[in-house]
Structure 1
């Protein structure tokens, strides 16, 4: 996810941010938890690309939901 998340101690004290921005990744989850859509989040943070959000969510899903195979 290095193309999605960047950690730099010089940017927001090293908080994980969307690469190329100063937008902390946690902001996305906070906005979603409050019931806002991804589209609304992107309107509020235009420096974040939709592709970044989708890739982040896909990676989070892959790490938290076990893959099952059909028999």
Structure 2
């Protein structure tokens, strides 16, 4: 699946979680998925726990990459 298609799985809506990025059609924030990955959860466990597809998890990681890619760091 292309990166563009993956990113279509992420949306922000003011009326859902204050506009935080979520998996489209859910109330599951990208942040939660990243926390689970950081804590060692396997993609399969996240998918089973929240009824997601692996592509949703990949989309969350790609979204985080894109956000950080544009971040400027000042030391």
The normalised TM-score by structure 1 is 0.70
- Among 43, 47, 60, the residue aligned to 1:42: 47
Would you say how many aligned residue pairs link Structure 1 and Structure 2? 61
Which residue number in structure 1 is paired with residue 72 of structure 2?
none
Unaligned runs of 5+ in 1: 65-71
The residue number in structure 2 matching 1:23 is 28
Larger Rg: 1
Q: CA RMSD in A?
A: 2.0
- Runs of 4+ deviating beyond 4 Å: none
Q: Which runs of 5+ in 2 are unaligned?
A: 1-6, 70-75
Higher helix share: 2
Structure number with greater CO (CA < 8 Å, separation at least 6) is 2
Q: Given the two structures, how large is their TM-score scaled by the length of structure 2?
A: 0.67
